[in-house]
Amino acid sequence: MKNHRFLDFIQSSAMIWKPSLGCALAWAIARWAGSNHPYLAPLTVVLCLQATPDRSVQSSWQRMVGTVIGVAIATVIVNWVGVSAWTVGMIVFLSILIGKQLRLDDTIIHQVGVSAILVLVFENHSVSYAFDRIVDTAIGIIVAIVLDLFIFPPRKNRSLFTFFARHLSR
């Protein structure tokens, strides 16, 4: 009986401990992978963990697509034009324009702009920032999705896992 209460407590407090555990894991993995900017991985965990696994996967997908596009735009422009107030404006304009032309979701378009600006600012201080931004975002996404789908998943997912487990054990 006490074990059941403990599991219920763990399940009901998941939105408190999952991000905490995820951030610690993401930071450690990013450091292990050689990142000079390991804070990007736990930041991604916090931003991608949502109330449901479906939303977490959707948020993660949007964040990854937006990050890759934003990093690409900023890297090309910074190497071509340099950094100035006009460069920031040009990057945001191109990010939104490209996002709209590709008919991307508004969330992705915002991520494109954010990633582009961050690369523009931080690439001057660290040549590895653009690469770290993409790799650490991927690390954070993987950690967030694994935590959300497999570590005390919502009840509807548990019944799905039980179904698969029974099916595979036959």
* Sequence-ordered list of residues with C-beta below 8 angstroms from that of 25, at least 6 positions apart, any chain: 143, 147
Mean pLDDT of the chain: 83
Q: Is residue 19 in a domain?
A: yes
Q: Is residue 5 in a domain?
A: no
Assigned token pair, 139? 């690390």
What range defines the domain where residue 33 resides? 14-154
Give the whole-angstrom CA distance, residue 121 versus residue 32: 25
Work out the pLDDT band at 153, boundaries 50, 70, 90.
confident
Among 67, 65, 64, 94, smallest CA distance to 78 is for: 94
Q: Is residue 141 in a domain?
A: yes
> Can you give the pTM of this predicted structure?
0.79
- Residue 124 is classified by DSSP as T
* Sequence-ordered list of residues with C-beta below 8 angstroms from that of 160, at least 6 positions apart, any chain: none
Q: Encode pLDDT of 57-99 as tens digits.
A: 988 998 898 889 888 888 888 888 878 888 889 888 988 888 8
Q: Is residue 6 in a domain?
A: no
Q: Is residue 126 in a domain?
A: yes
Q: Is residue 103 in a domain?
A: yes
Comparing 122 with 146, which gets the higher pLDDT?
146
Question: How many structural domains are present in the chain?
Answer: 1
Q: Is residue 163 in a domain?
A: no
Q: Encode pLDDT of 2-30 as tens digits.
A: 667 776 776 767 778 889 999 999 999 99
